[in-house]
Structure 1
Amino acid sequence: MFLAAGLSGFNIGDILFTVISFIVLIIFILFIILIVKLITHGKKRKSDLTRIEEKLDTLLKEKDKL
């Protein structure tokens, strides 16, 4: 009867709290990683667009010379 209420001195509530806390911690870490990736991806995209724009300008200037 006593074993049905808990496992080796841990109550079921304690185990649930620990599992939920662990899941929240994992979600928090993943959220931070996602934000960092979004910020760095935005900077890379901006630099890529600038590079493409410079290439297009160069091609248009060469076309105008012909």
Structure 2
Amino acid sequence: MVTELVEPAAARHWCDRCGEPADAGGHEACAAARALEPPRYCAHCRRRMKVQVVPTGWSAVCVEHGEIRG
């Protein structure tokens, strides 16, 4: 059986672009870059994700928390 991890955005502890603590502030550049780029780090556990970009979108996989697509 496959279960999906669902947590509110407030429960995320790490920036999904730079991997630094999300509550540390100074992530305006990360937010701007994320408008065009896929996430690089898991926002739940800070692991570097395997990212694949294709012409129709992207997918990012965390070994602990699974896959997200955009």
Which protein is richer in helix relative to its size? 1
**Alignment TM-score, normalising by the size of structure 1:** 0.21
**Alignment TM-score, normalising by the size of structure 2:** 0.20
Name the larger-Rg structure. 1
Which protein is richer in strand relative to its size? 2
